A = this chain, B = another copy of it.
Amino acid sequence: MAVSRTMGAGTAKGKRIAVVSRHAEADASLEVDQLSQYLGYSLKRAQLRIFDDFIHCVAPLQLTPAQFAVLLLLEKNPGRNQTEIARTLGILRPNFVAMLDELESRDLCLRVRSDNDRRSHILALTEKGAAILARAKKLIGTKHEARLRELLGDDNRALLLAMLEKIAREF
């Protein structure tokens, strides 16, 4: 015996297991309610769903969420080097290299050796990069984020965003 079905504490004797007594509910979906009460769990599930939809919406442009973030950051922060952009996005510098290689090979951004400090590469959007970014923003705004606003409502979406930012910054 050692273990019963629910595996209990001490008394592992007569404990029958649920399998047998699961009659009406049959093989229905499992009990997940308690798990869903953990913010980490629900956060992760929602994040995966959101990223999935994001990728689907931007599929014609072949941009990952991370690549989109890089392009957007370059647009808003011209003249920054790799270390600054990577750090801001929480990407480690070594891992940022291949990512930039990919974006640069697609002519979406480029590295320019700085005159001030010849060690660092200043990053810049190319015209094509700016164009792709503009198209991505439009796709995401009209499809992805639009559906999200529809689902949650405008006020709730703003509240959700505010709480997520608060967690990221203050927790």
Please list the residues of chain A having a beta carbon within 8 angstroms of any beta carbon in chain B. Answer: 2-10, 12, 15, 17-22, 27, 29-51, 53-54, 65, 69, 72-80, 84-85, 88, 90, 110, 112, 114-116, 122, 124-131, 140, 144-145, 147-148, 151-152, 156-157, 159-161, 163-168, 170-171
Contact (Cβ within 8 A) A3 B126: yes
Interface centre among A46, A47, A170 (most CB of B within 10 A): A46
A-B contact pairs, 18 of them (CB 8 A): A6-B125, A7-B78, A17-B115, A19-B78, A19-B115, A20-B116, A21-B79, A32-B88, A34-B72, A35-B72, A39-B148, A39-B160, A41-B69, A46-B168, A151-B166, A151-B167, A152-B167, A159-B163
Residue on B nearest A141 in the bound complex, by CB = B38
User: Apart from A8-B126, A40-B65, A160-B160, what 11 extra A-B contacts exist at CB < 8 Å?
Assistant: A3-B126, A30-B80, A30-B85, A30-B88, A40-B50, A42-B161, A43-B164, A46-B164, A48-B90, A148-B171, A152-B167
A48 to B43, CA, bound (A): 9
Chain B residues whose C-beta falls within 8 Å of the C-beta of A40 in the assembled complex: 47, 50-51, 54, 65, 144
Question: Out of B17, B128, B147, which one reaches A78, CB within 8 Å?
Answer: B17
Contact (Cβ within 8 A) A7 B110: yes
Contact (Cβ within 8 A) A45 B90: yes
